[in-house]
Structure 1
């Protein structure tokens, strides 16, 4: 009864209140943030001992000492080890750790996909307080020894990134409590700052057994107009100046009804930041999984105050953005990404943290979810209605109520008596099921998972070394410690079909609440002094024998989803690609799961913010992103619901979802006109599914975001730097979703004025020369989407009830000509679900157009895939002169083709070329 009452209170609060800021810390309430942020620049110096410098291979090492300019004799100098590594792909790594820490300091473990590959590093100069080094690509690093400053120069010799210019570098030395000065037992103990050995927040006490151990570093980006990244926040894509507000916070938290336009922490923490200006794009990746605060100061942000100051003084500040990273623990470990184009910097980051694996094709289609579809009959009726109303869907989702009283890997045997039969019925119609598995384990006697975890010591421990107990949906809960390899293996094995009856290869997994969310914990999460597994090491005991949750917090969800993916792979012996959705995100999340933006609301502002939120995640490696279509909380009226479906159809993860207390909102429950518009939005998604699939395949090759900011392809156009209500899909489609209520027109920016770029409205094929902003008229059926001139996009016009049924259907190729009458595109085809593509069972083709021919060439010559798909139509937009005839050539076969020229919009349509996608072909034109 106690658990029921507590959960009822939580649900009521979540329905009735916006986020309660009092539940979450400000910088002033976070001891290390307050402490470090109050440090005065250029007062706490570090000096590099140039005589200790050694360069071996790709690594330079040296001794660094901290000094106290105030001359306080009680504060001793402290020694650190400095390490600079040159890595392939134009990246450097800077590390600073204590020379002899009394305890090992935590180093983030799982974010990197592998040990970074080494480049060469040459010592160019070492004299007069300066050291100059250079990598193989011509980037130079200038180190000023006293005080320590590190400058990274681009290939032209311009300073692109500066570390520690303001001498805000800090690595707080680890201490033991009650240690006397100089080991003299009769001396007075050093007075410690308030909160060194413990902090309080509301009713919670954090014991801090290792004392203060924070790290910080200031980073400068000369010549930058703006900085981007460090998701997840509900802010604009270009980051604001925070000097008069709280810094951006990275600390994975479950924030009920999060607010907009905020630097507050949310579910994800990816500490990569990019700086962009006309001269270059660079980035820094702060490799740290502890709570982190990041200050930003843009010195040329164009604010009214700065503009007035410049006008009065007759001067202008040079373009520059400063940032400062502050983390509660760990070491200084920062990667400098030297760019210099936006795509270069984005690729350098995914080279470090990995790309998203090729997803199963169904996962890019439409998903239908609710907390909760009630029972098997509800699922059956849902499925029948999608067919009755001719709305395609690939996946149904089950939230926590499908389980036996919130016990995961079980079914409610009253409501879901025949799960295997239910799944088989969906599979027979080419549809899938996703079920939720959360990290909180119900503490109930007789529940196999709880019993096993208790007996084997698999739970995270509290500060006293006992199993940690918190509250979540099941009531009293404990949490598996995935840092222990035995625990991750045990958990992964729960997904074996024999351990999770009712599942099949067509049942996939949703990992929610994995920040981890703890309803009665500090800031609705796990206490920082909880204990995690650490591999045994000789001579280490006491607090050295475990990691605290403070060290690993932002990484916890990453370890969880890795174990989930391992389990889904193991259940089919690695044959089938799994799909996992996660709420908690960190660097490297893209290797294991898709991400959604969390518990949003059915309000226009939340629809609008889904675009910058997914843009920020995309450039931080997580391309597989979307928001809950319609909003999780509240009820969307017809206009908002329509616009959200239209927007969601052009985001990578496309799922409708809603809260248990909201009114049902399946498409057919709206009026007929609204349902028709929703159906059309979903059908647009299915028509472009092979385009999406090709983009994700190409992401595995080059690490480029699927969803891209405009400045990635138009880096010189300053107007694009702050546009975050529209975006590119690959380099081919520009999407400007309608996120404003009641509008009949929207402003759209078409980039590429200087290069003469042409854009084509995908509905009319009307050519629109790039000329900056223009007014696009919209009605409720209009989604402003434009194809870039010079590109070719594949479509499938025969939309069926689920995507697997479209696998062998024919293609339409949309050829949009540039000013030179050329265009290029690509197409990827495989079986959509297995890993057989890794054995060359796939097709990857390049499509190119010039005035004399259209060529389809399979570029993976050693590969093959027995597709029966073919080309039924070619649409060429922007053609000025129609050819007299056209002939298809495929192998030994030549076929004359029929063509129709639509002079009103300069469109040539070639009907039924009947070219097979399984081999190369060419259409030749005669004028």
Structure 2
């Protein structure tokens, strides 16, 4: 027993040392060449597809089309299903017609079955069918041989499916050395001889590869369809030469010291798409790369496989902690999305193609006039499952966001405190340390809402517990924070210490809730506690039990102000292949881990969020931070960019990383302020606080080996700079909250690239060092060491932008050189917008609840502006269940500012009022009058600054929920 403890401690120490090494060991993670299915898929070269659509099998219902595809090399039949969806979307599913066993289809990610629209056949010839897709104006041309689909709007080709013939579907089969395979080979050879005699053709030799370029394919024969179905069921066919597949790791694969048994053999799927007219594609997070995706020709594809990567490298396509298989394409005419619903390991190849365009594409170029148009080709490759892909047809960026979130859900509306500032470290040592940090924020007059505890707060890394020596009275500690109207977040990871004296472990084991090995025993791996079990979060019963553990009588000493952080949920397994779980581990229903790996963290966050909801009887909105994620994770909380480093490039990369996540539906994103690894100098730390103040999730966090870095530890001057940045965040909380509300309602990203608001401005398409918050604030933070200035691009023909600090007006479009000093955070308010603020900043957001608002009215060149404000209690679901909210709309036109309800369904009494109105770009009026219904006009005091054209109206004193107007005369 002692030796076991020693081994556990040694392994945990090794993991700590690996983390402290401050550099990723790339040899721990596969390249495409080392991933056998990726290598097999990539070995299929563009050319004539071996797949033929059997047009005579087409079945059309009111809302779907089904037909069979057959691989003319191995005769395996597939079923193609096509659905027209409401809201300008199309769904394509491809599965085996008669698989040996069911193939995995991703559950729980879609919020519901998407509503369909009608389909109709509008044309047909011997090798193609034309379908009309509802009322969208789109039509689809399905070509039989070789199989491909082309989606058009009018005469414009929007996208093509399988245009390069890269569809590659590895069917389930028995292993070749089994008796049935020997029978299969004999029967297959006999069938070839019979066909050659009956049809006077020579027998074909075995194809060198399933779907290889330039293959000669056999002619369609009467009875092929029926015989294909029968032979698939009895495994009387092969999928190319078995010897080559064995060499490529089809049935067993070893990486370093780990062997994957692959009991089901090769099961990968791949499909390609062409996007004519598109040069800019985005999305498929998470990667530490630029916003605009690069071509992957000559290198590795982008990889989607949730992994624990210590201090990841920048500007490469390596997989990181989360995966969202959504790619967006944008040009000046339209925006498209491709959502590949598959939770297995996935690789995405991106190539630029003009000269290699298909004949069909070149014909369309000719028909549409002009020279060749650019084209981006995208190839998706997943290890298992089926092909289930949604084509989001826009045409505007806002349409694509609405379409995607209609499928996977919108960003949950966080409680207000979650948008404020969070202070974390691995680890605050004990209750006295927590109290000192808490008091430090008050002593130094820096607002803070949340203090975090990492793994050391537990009793021996046993989650849901407290260290009895360091945290003997956690309820008192939480109560002390609550008295200051602050919160705490504690870490609860999904690896459970294997310890017979640990109640949580015993319950999970007794209920059979752990993930199993391929032999049926409980799977164990190494993580922070040492030997650990991994709960099977794919099991709904396990998730329900996990959720129950957050009730106040189960989670010892927990209180209403304690929230949760799920880390290491890729899942991280220190001694596993690629620092994660074996792919042949088994989940509920007999599914292999390979089928659903990227869903694991999604389910952990889901169960935790449900637990926080349930502990309050469904009243309170949860806050859960998760490191791993998948499509739909936005419904359950926030994510961050993982184990970054205190380096300038890591500060810079946090912007495109969060922008990519926002484009893929996950708006609540941030990066560890200051960098997790290493220790930042004062300049880097200050700049990071300034960048973080304008990102959705704002948390400082650090590795336990770094020097302490609370905001007041770097001298008075730097403390003042950090305080100013944090106070800017708090002043803007009303705008942040309103923007999150819009994201919750409509799916629009909170933090967004410039091209989202300016889709026809090509200059914005590659910009990722500046961004918008909502549609009104543009930010270009300083991310270069020793910077004396930044180049800010102000978009919008005929628009104006106002510096939020100096109120100076700038005409757009232009690139503006902005000199900067250490206090500078270049930020601009868009002319024509109204932004609400609260400028009486206090110790926490909750302390500011009753405080008054200031409205910043930035006039357009036409002298107009509009904006809104959403208010509720800031933490419950009453805004939904009881319509307890205010949604106010503000507009300025004809020298009159008006406030009215934006949603009459909402009823809520707020104690807050308006203490000031600041109008940017205004002339000096003779007088200003306030008008309220049923009351005489009231004259208001004002101050006008002619140098900046800023008009300040003092103390209107109106309740924020009242209707009123202010006239400048």
- Answer with 53-62 or 160-169: which moved more: 53-62
Q: Deviations over 1:295-344 (max 9, x none)?
A: 0012479xxxxxxxxxxxxx985211111000000111100000111121
- Paired position in structure 2 for 1:407: 462
Query: Residues of 2 paired with 1:599 and 1:363: CA distance?
Result: 20
Query: Residues of 2 paired with 1:148 and 1:221: CA distance?
Result: 17
- Paired position in structure 1 for 2:684: 640
- Does the aligned pair in 2 maintain the 1:198–1:205 contact within 8 Å? yes
Residues 60-209 of structure 1: pairs in structure 2 closer than 5 A = 60-68=65-73, 76-134=74-132, 135-154=134-153, 156-177=154-175, 178=178, 179-180=180-181, 183=184, 191-192=241-242, 193-194=245-246, 195-209=249-263
Please say if 1:847 is aligned against 2:848. Answer: no
- Paired position in structure 2 for 1:236: 290
- Paired position in structure 1 for 2:557: 502
- Does the aligned pair in 2 maintain the 1:226–1:298 contact within 8 Å? no
- Paired position in structure 2 for 1:820: 862
Please say if 1:757 is aligned against 2:799. Answer: yes
Deviation at 1:605, TM superposition (A): 0.2
TM-score of the two chains, using structure 2 as the length reference: 0.91
Query: Residues of 2 paired with 1:206 and 1:356: CA distance?
Result: 37
- Paired position in structure 1 for 2:9: 4
- Answer with 718-727 or 35-44: which moved more: 35-44
Please say if 1:910 is aligned against 2:966. Answer: no
Corresponding residue to 2:632 among 568, 588, 604: 588
Task: Give the direction of change, closer, same or farther, for the CA distance of 1:891–1:503 in structure 2 (3 Å limit).
Answer: farther
Query: Residues of 2 paired with 1:299 and 1:366: CA distance?
Result: 46
Deviation at 1:51, TM superposition (A): 1.6
- Answer with 585-594 or 343-352: which moved more: 343-352
- Does the aligned pair in 2 maintain the 1:800–1:806 contact within 8 Å? yes
Deviation at 1:881, TM superposition (A): 5.3
- Answer with 171-180 or 808-817: which moved more: 171-180
- Does the aligned pair in 2 maintain the 1:181–1:187 contact within 8 Å? no
- Does the aligned pair in 1 maintain the 2:836–2:855 contact within 8 Å? yes
Please say if 1:39 is aligned against 2:57. Answer: no
Please say if 1:871 is aligned against 2:871. Answer: no
Please say if 1:420 is aligned against 2:463. Answer: no
Task: Give the direction of change, closer, same or farther, for the CA distance of 1:895–1:232 in structure 2 (3 Å limit).
Answer: same
Task: Give the direction of change, closer, same or farther, for the CA distance of 1:186–1:621 in structure 2 (3 Å limit).
Answer: closer
Please say if 1:835 is aligned against 2:877. Answer: yes
- Paired position in structure 1 for 2:779: 735
Task: Give the direction of change, closer, same or farther, for the CA distance of 1:798–1:725 in structure 2 (3 Å limit).
Answer: same
Query: Residues of 1 paired with 2:567 and 2:443: CA distance?
Result: 32
- Does the aligned pair in 2 maintain the 1:299–1:317 contact within 8 Å? no
- Paired position in structure 2 for 1:542: none
Deviation at 1:636, TM superposition (A): 0.7
- Answer with 742-751 or 856-865: which moved more: 856-865
- Does the aligned pair in 1 maintain the 2:311–2:643 contact within 8 Å? yes
Deviation at 1:925, TM superposition (A): 2.7
Task: Give the direction of change, closer, same or farther, for the CA distance of 1:250–1:883 in structure 2 (3 Å limit).
Answer: farther
- Does the aligned pair in 2 maintain the 1:110–1:559 contact within 8 Å? no
- Paired position in structure 2 for 1:922: 965
Deviation at 1:862, TM superposition (A): 3.2
Deviation at 1:890, TM superposition (A): 4.5
Residues 415-814 of structure 1: pairs in structure 2 closer than 5 A = 415-534=470-589, 546-753=590-797, 756-814=798-856
- Does the aligned pair in 2 maintain the 1:871–1:912 contact within 8 Å? yes
Query: Residues of 2 paired with 1:827 and 1:573: CA distance?
Result: 28
Query: Residues of 2 paired with 1:112 and 1:187: CA distance?
Result: 41
TM-score of the two chains, using structure 1 as the length reference: 0.95
Deviation at 1:182, TM superposition (A): 5.3
Q: Deviations over 1:646-671 (max 9, x none)?
A: 00000000000000111000011111
Query: Residues of 1 paired with 2:771 and 2:926: CA distance?
Result: 35
Q: CA RMSD in A?
A: 1.5
Deviation at 1:136, TM superposition (A): 1.5
- Does the aligned pair in 1 maintain the 2:750–2:774 contact within 8 Å? yes
Deviation at 1:866, TM superposition (A): 1.2
Residue 180 of structure 1 aligns to a residue in which SS? Answer: helix
Query: Residues of 1 paired with 2:137 and 2:934: CA distance?
Result: 48
Q: Deviations over 1:543-602 (max 9, x none)?
A: xxx000000000011111111111111111101111000000110010012000000000
Task: Give the direction of change, closer, same or farther, for the CA distance of 1:583–1:300 in structure 2 (3 Å limit).
Answer: farther
Query: Residues of 1 paired with 2:42 and 2:533: CA distance?
Result: 35
- Paired position in structure 2 for 1:297: 351
- Paired position in structure 2 for 1:287: 341
- Answer with 765-774 or 513-522: which moved more: 765-774
- Does the aligned pair in 2 maintain the 1:121–1:136 contact within 8 Å? no
- Paired position in structure 1 for 2:451: 396
Query: Residues of 1 paired with 2:349 and 2:906: CA distance?
Result: 50
Deviation at 1:717, TM superposition (A): 1.1
- Answer with 259-268 or 916-925: which moved more: 916-925
Query: Residues of 1 paired with 2:44 and 2:29: CA distance?
Result: 23
Corresponding residue to 1:265 among 319, 338, 344: 319
- Does the aligned pair in 2 maintain the 1:140–1:157 contact within 8 Å? no
Query: Residues of 2 paired with 1:902 and 1:497: CA distance?
Result: 56
- Does the aligned pair in 1 maintain the 2:22–2:678 contact within 8 Å? no
- Paired position in structure 2 for 1:71: none
- Answer with 169-178 or 427-436: which moved more: 169-178
Deviation at 1:887, TM superposition (A): 2.6
- Paired position in structure 2 for 1:276: 330
Please say if 1:385 is aligned against 2:440. Answer: yes
Deviation at 1:921, TM superposition (A): 1.5
Query: Residues of 2 paired with 1:585 and 1:93: CA distance?
Result: 23
- Does the aligned pair in 2 maintain the 1:888–1:913 contact within 8 Å? no
Query: Residues of 1 paired with 2:924 and 2:372: CA distance?
Result: 53
Residue 356 of structure 1 aligns to a residue in which SS? Answer: coil
- Does the aligned pair in 2 maintain the 1:847–1:857 contact within 8 Å? yes
- Does the aligned pair in 1 maintain the 2:49–2:146 contact within 8 Å? no
Task: Give the direction of change, closer, same or farther, for the CA distance of 1:459–1:897 in structure 2 (3 Å limit).
Answer: same
- Does the aligned pair in 2 maintain the 1:180–1:187 contact within 8 Å? no
Residue 712 of structure 2 aligns to a residue in which SS? Answer: helix
- Paired position in structure 2 for 1:306: none
Task: Give the direction of change, closer, same or farther, for the CA distance of 1:891–1:131 in structure 2 (3 Å limit).
Answer: farther
- Answer with 801-810 or 191-200: which moved more: 191-200
Please say if 1:349 is aligned against 2:350. Answer: no
- Does the aligned pair in 2 maintain the 1:372–1:400 contact within 8 Å? yes
Counting matched residue pairs gives 892
Deviation at 1:702, TM superposition (A): 0.9
Deviation at 1:892, TM superposition (A): 3.0
Task: Give the direction of change, closer, same or farther, for the CA distance of 1:911–1:87 in structure 2 (3 Å limit).
Answer: same
- Paired position in structure 1 for 2:944: 901
Please say if 1:56 is aligned against 2:61. Answer: yes
- Answer with 548-557 or 898-907: which moved more: 898-907
- Does the aligned pair in 2 maintain the 1:891–1:921 contact within 8 Å? no
- Does the aligned pair in 1 maintain the 2:306–2:322 contact within 8 Å? yes
- Does the aligned pair in 2 maintain the 1:822–1:848 contact within 8 Å? yes
- Paired position in structure 1 for 2:927: 884
